[in-house]
Structure 1
Amino acid sequence: MSEKLWGGRFAESTDKLVESVNASINVDKRLYESDIKGSQAHLEMMAKQGIISSEDAETLVQGLDTVKARIDNNEMEFTDALEDIHMHVEEHLGDVCGPVARKLHTGRSRNDQVALDVRIYLKDETLTLIQMLKDFQAALVTLADANKKTVMPGYTHMQRAQPVLFAHHMLAYYQMFKRDVERLEDSLKRLDVMPLGCAALAGTTFPIDREYTCQVLGFSRVSENSMDSVSDRDFVMEFISHASICMIHLSRLSEELILWSTSEFAFITISDAFTTGSSIMPQKKNPDVCELVRGKTGRVVGNLMAILTTMKSLPMAYNKDMQEDKEPLFDTIDTLKVCLEVYTRMFAHIEVHKERMRAACMTGFLNATDFADYLVNKGVAFRTAHGIAGKAVAFAIEQEKELDDLTLEEMHAFSDLIEKDVYGFISLDATVARRNSYGGTGFENVSAAVDAAKKDLGI
């Protein structure tokens, strides 16, 4: 193995344990495509500026293609002695091109190089995740579209509250993930910044053209302060923050899917392909996928805490602590991607038990608010009507009845304004249909919302 690329100042060999601690190649080797792309743009710019000859630049660009092919084909041996992906690429470029490879690092540092690599990589992954989120939204909307008239209990405090449409419930998650898409799209504004050319921290003496490099790499703009450019990891913190919120949304959905698939609820059945069994209880069908997604939320939130803690006291400019940014970032990307992919597949095979959901709406006084609203329509102040409805519920509980099981004579004990039309007013479908205030669960509203979501997603 050749001497270290930075070894000129050192008289002793690096301790093997230090090499292991210092190395990041096991983590950052996934950046090789981004690293090579950045190096090729750097070479093109240097040739344009006359910093190196066009012939040398062409030789090195082609050599980098060869290095990439070797990595693509698993032909490169990775070693802690070469520390990171940048040094591996440069070392193997020397094997391909000879001494001219030593010109590659002119006018840059690993500090601006790694900042560039991570930005290139994260831009691509962010765009992929945005599409994956939209694919999952489409799965939610498709399930909603098939259940536009499916009535289920809505809950507050995990107690039955008012009837809602199952489609409305699914569209609530559609809105959550829509915000996740918007957050990721907005983060691209701050991510899409080109740091190459800032060198270690102070810029370079070579006559580079950073705007040209920016154009070649397809970034929107060039970073404005060299010290900030090499020490900025806001874009990593921001991404993991957004991913954490998205995972929390997935975790909330997971909790409901787990509850709904229990025998006690029996609102849905999750396909056998997305459940597992028990090693001791033959009858078991466990929602392990949902539980794992719920559990993986903790690791992503933990990744956010890790990067925030790593960055919280770092002085300007680059510090080796920042090498710790990649593990939480890569793990977050991998975790979010697998959760979105498995849920997108799983939702295509969820069976909704419509009659069971409807039956659950018939008990628990889900129409109590409508009973009060009925009295309001008769001229009673809402707060007074609320009290009357509460007393009627208490009486019904004593009689082991629901509100619509009470006789008209029994209802008159609470108000003489109650007439026979109350039964139609507080019927299940009527209570849903009337909720057509904007954003409400009324049949017409939800049908229009499903259509709008389908149009937005292009499905």
Structure 2
Amino acid sequence: MTDKLWGGRFAEDITQDVLDYTLTVDVDERLVFADLWQSVAHVLMLGARKIVPAEAARDLLGALLRLRDQSENGRLRLRPELEDVHFNIEQQVIEDLGREVGGHLQTARSRNDQVSTDARMYLRRVQLDAVEANLELIGELLGFPEEELLAILPGYTHGQAAQPISVAFWKTAHASLLLRDVRRLRGAFDRTDESPLGACALAGTSFPLDRQVTARLLGFRAVLSHALDATSARDYLIESASAFAIGGNNLSRMAEEIVVWSGHEHSLVEVQDAYATGSSIMPQKKNPVVAELARGRAGRTAGTLVQLLTMAKGVTLGYSCDLQEDKPYLWHAIDAYLSTLRIVAGQTRGLRFDGARGEELCWDNFSTATELANHLTAGGLAFREAHHVSGALVSALIRRGATLRDTAASAEILAGLGHPVPEPVLARIFAPRTAVTGYTSPGGTSPRSVTAVRAELRAAVTAYGAWLEGTRRRLQRAHDAAFGAARDVADGADLGKALDRIAPDLPTLYGDLS
């Protein structure tokens, strides 16, 4: 008979090839903290409900605390022959206490509810880290100097110059975009922050569990009550992967503009030397490699989303090993997303925009032609007719090899079209800076509008920052309370009294949301 923890009905062990193919210890290292924490919560509940003897609960908690100390000191190693983090922790408890006592650890618990609980606990950390990294990047974007309110850039549609904007307007646009990533992450957090522990394999158990107390000990704000749903669900992982993929795409779009605008043909922005590299053969090159990699690594987050959707689509309710293919890809996406957020924040801090170059390009690419149409419309002409007149002016100037800088030629052409405009008026309305300051509608490019938007975005950042800090405090309090109670009981305290002592530090559940 095999000596595996699950091996009672097996006459022979799996081969090394099968073990190598099925083990997950290489990706489970990130879950050690969660598996130890949930094991402590589980044993506290088992002892409080008298499902295991008080003395066994005391010994189990002592063994788990010893493993936690080893983990924090870097001495806890997951052994590949034990397949995954759950069997590693259980086996090491059994080796410490013997099977008669250590064998109680898995009472009323399955690897199916364990792995979902661990993954949710780890993912909560990641989601909060991603919120923090986004808020830091948004802060960099919103921290622009006042002169960037009038530092001119060409705005683009269809890849073609469209209308003048300011550097501050561009930065607040990306900040606004990233703030939606924060909102997505917070929403994903809410649906991740539900405890599946106690659902067991898929159908619950005949033991009188208290799933609410374990949820509170683990810092969850709700219990996912339906056992089959709790063990089968992977939508919270897919939703998180979607948030990471959308966030990666948003970072990629910003990176694309940095790459294109830093080229000589545009010369609108220069990245700090620390975020660029040179060429192995061309000494003049300065390559914006951080921006290029941010673009490329968005593919990792997008690919993970597709992988998870494909993995889950054919799996019926109840656990199947297909589902263990979630973590290797998700871990890569998490690492790519968080590292990109953090390095892009550093790059953003050192970006140097050339507003004079931006203004020059706006003069030469007819980007204020709309202002002539608006001027004529304000004078009583229907906008569609004014649009036609402005287009005819642009066409005539192009044929002459002229631009809107040539106000004398523009005045002559407009007079010939039957819509004369004095040259001094044209010089004013064609100036890119006039357009930027004149777009005073809410959300527009004017300094007043951009300043108002920045204030709104900063207020949202402050609110999300407060939520982030409060949520981390809640999880830390629950963590400290659970391990504090475990240590008290291991040292001889009454288990019921230990739980009563920590009750004020545990979150209040807001109910089942299934």
TM-score normalised to structure 1 length: 0.96
- What is the alpha-carbon distance in structure 1 between the residues aligned to residue 407 and residue 418 of structure 2? 13
SS of the aligned residue for 2:204 comes to coil
Flag the 1:69–1:146 CA change in 2: closer, same or farther, 3 A. farther
- What is the alpha-carbon distance in structure 2 between the residues aligned to residue 50 and residue 443 of structure 1? 67
Which deviates further from its counterpart, 350-359 or 194-203? Answer: 350-359
Partner of 1:334: 335
- What is the alpha-carbon distance in structure 2 between the residues aligned to residue 111 and residue 386 of structure 1? 65
Partner of 2:94: 94
1:146 deviates by 5.4
Which deviates further from its counterpart, 191-200 or 52-61? Answer: 52-61
SS of the aligned residue for 1:361 comes to helix
Is the 2:407–2:427 contact (alpha carbons within 8 Å) kept by the matching residues of 1?
no
Which deviates further from its counterpart, 233-242 or 209-218? Answer: 209-218
- What is the alpha-carbon distance in structure 1 between the residues aligned to residue 308 and residue 129 of structure 2? 22
Q: CA offsets per residue over residues 368-392 of structure 1, 9 Å max, x none? A: 1111111111111111111111111
- What is the alpha-carbon distance in structure 2 between the residues aligned to residue 283 and residue 359 of structure 1? 25
Which deviates further from its counterpart, 443-452 or 203-212? Answer: 443-452
Query: Where does structure 2 lack aligned partners over 5 or more consecutive residues?
Result: 466-514
Q: CA offsets per residue over residues 269-295 of structure 1, 9 Å max, x none? A: 111111112222222211111111111
Partner of 2:429: 425
Is the 1:378–1:417 contact (alpha carbons within 8 Å) kept by the matching residues of 2?
no
Instruction: Point out which structure has higher relative CO (alpha carbons under 8 A, 6+ apart).
Output: 2
Is the 2:363–2:404 contact (alpha carbons within 8 Å) kept by the matching residues of 1?
no
Amino acid at match of 1:452: E
Q: Structure 1: which 4+ aligned runs deviate by more than 4 Å?
A: none
SS of the aligned residue for 1:106 comes to coil
Partner of 1:243: 244
Amino acid at match of 1:81: E
1:415 corresponds to which of 418, 432, 445: 418
Is the 1:388–1:415 contact (alpha carbons within 8 Å) kept by the matching residues of 2?
no
Question: What is the number of residues matched between the two proteins?
Answer: 458
SS of the aligned residue for 1:103 comes to coil
Partner of 1:153: 154
Partner of 1:169: 170
Task: Kindly report which structure 2 residues correspond to 1:353-364, keeping only aligned pairs within 5 A, or say none.
Answer: 353-364=354-365
- What is the alpha-carbon distance in structure 2 between the residues aligned to residue 367 and residue 357 of structure 1? 13
Is the 2:192–2:236 contact (alpha carbons within 8 Å) kept by the matching residues of 1?
yes
Which deviates further from its counterpart, 221-230 or 400-409? Answer: 400-409
- What is the alpha-carbon distance in structure 1 between the residues aligned to residue 398 and residue 456 of structure 2? 42
1:440 corresponds to which of 444, 449, 459: 444
Task: Kindly report which structure 2 residues correspond to 1:43-122, keeping only aligned pairs within 5 A, or say none.
Answer: 43-99=43-99, 100-122=101-123
Partner of 1:312: 313
- What is the alpha-carbon distance in structure 1 between the residues aligned to residue 70 and residue 330 of structure 2? 26
Partner of 2:40: 40
Amino acid at match of 2:318: A
Amino acid at match of 2:449: N
Is the 1:376–1:385 contact (alpha carbons within 8 Å) kept by the matching residues of 2?
yes
- What is the alpha-carbon distance in structure 2 between the residues aligned to residue 350 and residue 434 of structure 1? 26
Which deviates further from its counterpart, 434-443 or 175-184? Answer: 434-443
Is the 2:194–2:220 contact (alpha carbons within 8 Å) kept by the matching residues of 1?
yes
Query: Where does structure 1 lack aligned partners over 5 or more consecutive residues?
Result: none
Amino acid at match of 1:73: N
Q: CA offsets per residue over residues 221-258 of structure 1, 9 Å max, x none? A: 11121111111100000000111000000111110000
1:402 deviates by 1.9
Question: Identity across aligned pairs (percent)?
Answer: 35
Amino acid at match of 2:126: E
SS of the aligned residue for 1:160 comes to strand
* Aligned-pair Cα RMSD in Å: 1.6
- What is the alpha-carbon distance in structure 2 between the residues aligned to residue 154 and residue 416 of structure 1? 28
Q: CA offsets per residue over residues 15-46 of structure 1, 9 Å max, x none? A: 11001111001111210000111010001111
Is the 2:110–2:201 contact (alpha carbons within 8 Å) kept by the matching residues of 1?
yes
2:455 corresponds to which of 448, 451, 454: 451
